Each structure stands twice: as C-alpha cells, then as structure tokens.
Amino acid sequence: MIILQELPEAATQVATLLAQKTSHTPLPTVIPDVPRVYYQTSSEVGHRTLWVVCVLMGLSSLAFYAMAMRVPVQKRLFHVITALVTTFAFLSYYAMATGDGVTSHPYVSGRSKHGAVTEIVQRDIYWVRYVDWSITTPLLLLDLCLLAGLNGATILVTVVSDVIMILTGLFAAFAREEAQGWGWYAFACIAYLNIVYQVGYKGTHAMSTRDYKTRAFFLSLSLFTLLLWTAYPIVWGIADGAHRVTVDAEIIAYAVLDVLAKGVFGFWLLLAHDTMARSSPNIDGFWSHGVSHEGALRVGEGRTLDDD
C-alpha cells in the first residue's frame, strides 16, 4: 500500500506559514479533515503472471484450432466453442498484461470515532475479466449442456442466468456502498445456484439414458467444473469484496482458476471427445453445409418488385 497524499500535514504547514506572514488577519487554524488516499495495485509478479497466462491461452487456442482441423466439420462443434473460449481469454489477458481493461475504484478503509472518512483505498479492478467471462462462461456452459444433451429451453435459461451472474458480479465490483455491493453479490450467487441446478441436476437426468462411458465422462467433467466455478465467488469475496488480499494474489488466484477452467477443461473435453468420436453427435444441416440456395427466389433475377 503506498501513501500518496499526506494532505493534513501539508495543509498544516501552509496554514502556519501564511499565519506567520499575515500578522493582522490570522488565518483560521481549523484544518478540514482530508482523508488519506492509498493505492492497491499490481506489482511485477502480477504483471508477469498475466503475460504467462496470455501465452498459455494463445498456445491452447492454436492447439484447439489444430485439433478442430483434424476432424470433419460435422464433428467440430465442441472444438470451435472451446477454441473460441481460449481465444477470448487470450485477448483479455493481453489487455490486462499491457495495462488495459483496468481501473482504480475507491472504497472507504478508515473512519474516525465520529464516522468521518479518514482513509480511502483506490484498488485496481480488472473490468475486462467481466467482459471475458460474459462471453466465455456461456460458451463453456454450452459445451456442458450440449454434452449432456439438454434441450433448448434449459440451455437458454442456463446461458441467461450466467449472463445475469456476471453482470451482477460486475455491479458488485463497482458498488459505491459496501452493503449495496454485497446485495449484487447475493443476486449473482442466486444466478449461480440456478446454473448448478440446470446443468448439474437436469444434465445428470438427461444423461441417464446414455452409455456408461459418456455418463462417467460428463459426471467427472461437470464435477471438475463445479469445484472450479465455486472457487471464483470465494476468491471474489476475499479479494474484491472484503479486500483481504493484495491485487497480485488476486491475479494469481484467477490465473490458476482460468488455466484450469478454460485450458485444462478444453484439453480434457476435446481429447476425450476425440476418443469417443463414434458416439459424438454428427451435426449436418446449416452447421456443415450453410444455407441451401436451391429453389430460392431472388428479387432482381428476372423479376422485380414492380412487376407485382
């Protein structure tokens, strides 16, 4: 923590000097209480961590695109979704490593006996994480939902809950009052519980008719996801919520979780998926062949709208 402003002391010195010069009209000796401002920011350790994860996400993306090219387009859905996840993570880590996507947000860290604010801390918030999560977590959930064979209605509810979770998490991070922030946090946790219910409960149910190998795979991958995802609100609560750990510690904690939740998750899903290639879904239609132009009537080819 760096003390940047020693305003009360400076103000005292200025007042004393001025009082010495103007003997006829002495200045009032009451000095307003100016809160001290401290800054919580990352150091070299955090900076290096961000670069390491940026490189890992970039390499994972290349590996996932290469794996996608080795299978026919009909079998590429999981590869494309997973490669997009790490691509977005690569971009967001690049932003953070180069000093973008971050802003300093104040919170009150000290009050006098009478309740006046005496200390303010300006802590770095990496808002680009929330942009990343609002795109990548729905894609990760889509991987799990498609694997479980969940229906469209359940997938929509899951994805919307996820977006609500991330947006309310963002509002929590930028809350003006502590109580308001924890209120947003509570909404995010409710949305998260709904995701666990939709994917965990309904997903397991939808899986009951599938073969043993696919069922065991879904169960272990979703358990792995559940454990990792549950760690995010815990880290958030300790770091952004209660401000109990440094910005570097927060960066490292999210770095480990992100590598596991995106990189390791992706390799696990795609490698297992490739070994189960015969039982994995074959997606034809628009995904593999695009829009069919056969029999389509085009305005401007032979007839015009004026002919009608």
Binding site for ligand RET (CB under 6 A): 133, 136-137, 140, 165-166, 169, 172, 185, 188-189, 192, 229, 232-233, 236, 258, 261-262
| CB of 77 or CB of 259, closer to ligand RET | 259
In the bound state with ligand RET, the residue whose beta carbon lies nearer, of 39 and 182, is 182
Go through 282-297 and write b for each residue having 16 or more CB atoms within 10 A of its CB, e for each that does not. Answer: eeeeeeeeeeeeeeee
Tokens of 110: 């000290």
Q: What minimum distance in Å lies between the beta carbon of 138 and ligand RET?
A: 10
For the bound state, the minimum distance from the C-beta of residue 240 to ligand RET, rounded and expressed in Å, comes to: 8
CB-based closest residue to ligand RET: 169
Q: Do residues 141 and 165 make contact, with C-beta atoms less than 8 angstroms apart? A: no
Residue 259 near residue 56, CB atoms below 8 Å: yes
Sign of CA dihedral 142, 147, 148, 149: positive
Question: How far is the C-alpha of 236 from the C-alpha of 103, rounded, in Å?
Answer: 16
User: What residues pair up with 40 in beta bridges, in sequence order?
Assistant: 123
User: How far apart are CB 90 and ligand RET at their closest, in Å?
Assistant: 11
Distance CA 201, CA 205 (A): 6
The Cα 307–Cα 58 span in angstroms is: 55
Cβ closest to ligand RET, residue 15 vs residue 231: 231
Residue with smaller CB distance to ligand RET, 36 or 269: 269
Give the nearest distance from C-beta 192 to ligand RET in angstroms.
4
The least distance separating ligand RET from the CB of residue 268, rounded to whole angstroms, comes to 14
Nearer to ligand RET, 162 or 248 (CB): 162
